[in-house]
Chains A and B, each alone.
Chain A
Amino acid sequence: MNMTVNIAGVEFKNPVTTASGTFGSGMEYSEFVDLNKLGAVTTKGVASVPWPGNPVPRVTEVYGGMLNAIGLQNPGIDVFIERDIPFLKKFDTKIIVNVCGKTVEEYLDVVEKLANTSVDMLEINVSCPNVKEGAIAFGQDAACLEDITSRIKRIARQPVIMKLSPNVTRIADMARAAEAGGADAISLINTITGMKIDIERRKFVLANKTGGMSGPAIKPIAVRMVYEASHAVKIPVIGMGGISNAEDAIEFMMAGASMIAVGAANFVNPHATSEIVDGIEQYLIKHNIKDVSEIVGCVD
């Protein structure tokens, strides 16, 4: 049975990675999960300089999920290169670095600094709903998305994944724009913008007022968008959004995802990623499937 997945020439031992921002750089969850077991670790977004993020409260639970407005707090690319990459290199897993910025130049700066490192892929976060200064603008306008993709591709040494926002009218248009810009893959969905109000205090629960929704409640939306995006482009799709177990992961793959990412489920069960790897394997054995790629997009 073959669990390996090849995306843009990078071979992953299985189709399971982590959703950016839910797994740090792997250090915290390495107490619970053998990182060697994962196809890849996708890191928390990193910018050219340290970002303080948003004021608290930054997180709150909602029915079947949660809202977050962390605001991409991160220690900056220099600390990341010095501390987080060497940590991850100790494990036999691939490293996907999520890159964020407020201007095109900031993205390019991070991509350039990562050029001479041994990370395997870049995931460009043009879809964070919680940072006001731009970022998401790149992910909500097809022309902007194509432009930033092609500018990043010109200097990137690693294959580039563009991470798409679900907060758009037609996801297929955004997927095509990323492909037209030269993206090697796309990942989706980032969180869906939401809001929660405390009716006793008559105040927004999150200091940022809005936050990105994740968790099991968003899964049907994510599955639909993965289906639409994967039918719009030829490049591989990495699917995410409310995956809690192997059944969810397989559903995303059948919708068209070549690889999947586990996000908020890590908070509910720190062993989630590892259990999903096992669960996919068991499904393949049970159904006598020789290669995991056979289920990708199989529901057409």
Chain B
Amino acid sequence: MKRYEDVTVDSVECIAPDIYDMHVITDMAAVVVPGQFAMLYTGDASRMLGRPISICECSEGGLRFVFRVTGGGTRDLAAFKGGDKIKILGPLGNGYDIKAMKGREVMLMGGGIGIPPMLELAKRLSASGIKVRAVMGYRDSNLFLKSDFERVCETHVATEDGSAGTKGNVLDAVREKSLFFDVICACGPMPMLRAIKSYAAGNGITAYISLEERMACGVGACLGCVCKTARKDAHSHVNNARVCTEGPVFEAASVDI
């Protein structure tokens, strides 16, 4: 059940250049599916829309959001302090279907600010007894959340500048380390997701990818955040699925990206 509520910020911390780690106090965590997101509102009417931020981690009584400052709205979010009230709308979107991964070997692939939502997924998969590993792609040696992943599963790193792990992207790391798996769960920039879609198709494995799109409502009403789909879905009756509602997680083969 989605909720729109005022919650208390527990803490906000800068954990890498432009990357912020926000904890909020809410019992919404109890109903969150990994891969879901929430809208965070700055409270400033001049920046009226919510910012869709993926849920990084759930704890008893709280949610963790790790986001990148990319403009004025996210800069305002980064300026919140412990004790402040913030309006949030969530949990939104479908999230990853953990049951569908039972008995399979899962590789999580996160690129940049697509890394955070993989953390809660890693924890839930691991808790469900599903074999899970992670490969994370960073720009440079600011390896945010790496130690969090290492506490949960085997974790590999790729960096664009070669300053840590494999030089290159997540798929370069997969090849270099000869990693084998039969399901991919991925979130990251579009070029990475396109490469993963093609890798999955070429290797006959399933990839679930989490898409990002500009949104207004976050609940499926405005039709702002659609992506092209192979099939006509029941809602739109055209080949457009709503990233906020039918997504953000899609089977890679089902979307035209």
Taking Cβ atoms with an 8 Å cutoff, the residues of A that contact B are 21-24, 28-29, 31-32, 44, 50-53, 56-61, 63-66, 68, 70, 73, 75-76, 79, 215-216, 244, 264, 266-271
Contact = CB atoms under 8 A, between A and B. Distances in A.
A264 B216 CA distance: 9
22 contacts: A22-B222, A24-B220, A29-B219, A32-B4, A56-B214, A56-B224, A56-B225, A58-B214, A61-B73, A66-B216, A68-B222, A70-B222, A70-B224, A73-B236, A73-B238, A73-B240, A244-B45, A264-B48, A267-B216, A268-B41, A269-B4, A269-B87
Contacts of B216: 59, 66, 68, 264, 267
A271 B87 CA distance: 13
A217 B235 CA distance: 32
A64 B238 contact: no
By Cβ-Cβ distance, the 5 closest A-B pairs, closest first, are: A59-B224, A75-B237, A24-B221, A28-B221, A52-B238
Nearest to A31: B2
Interface centre among B1, B224, B240, B245 (most CB of A within 10 A): B224
B78 interface: no
Nearest to A52: B238
Interface string B204-226: 00000000011111111111111
Nearest to B219: A28
B45 to A, nearest CB: 6
Contact of B238 (A24, A65, A75, A268): A75
Nearest to B220: A28
B223 A58 contact: yes
B239 interface: yes
A77 to B, nearest CB: 11
Nearest to A73: B223
Contact of A70 (B47, B218, B223, B227): B223
A64 B235 CA distance: 31
A31 B1 contact: yes
Contacts, number: 106
Q: Please classify the interface of chain B as helix (H, G, I), strand (E, B), loop, or mixed, using the class held by over half of its residues.
A: loop
Contact of B45 (A21, A23, A68, A216): A216
Contacts of A73: 223, 226, 236, 238, 240
A28 B239 CA distance: 20
Contacts of A266: 217, 221
A51 B48 contact: no
Contacts of B89: 270
A75 B237 CA distance: 5
Interface string B183-219: 0000000000000000000000000000001111111
B39 to A, nearest CB: 9
Given A59-B215, A68-B216, A264-B48, A53 B223 contact: yes
Contacts of B224: 56, 58-59, 68, 70
A215 B220 contact: no
Contacts of A50: 236-238
A258 to B, nearest CB: 25
Contacts of A70: 222-224
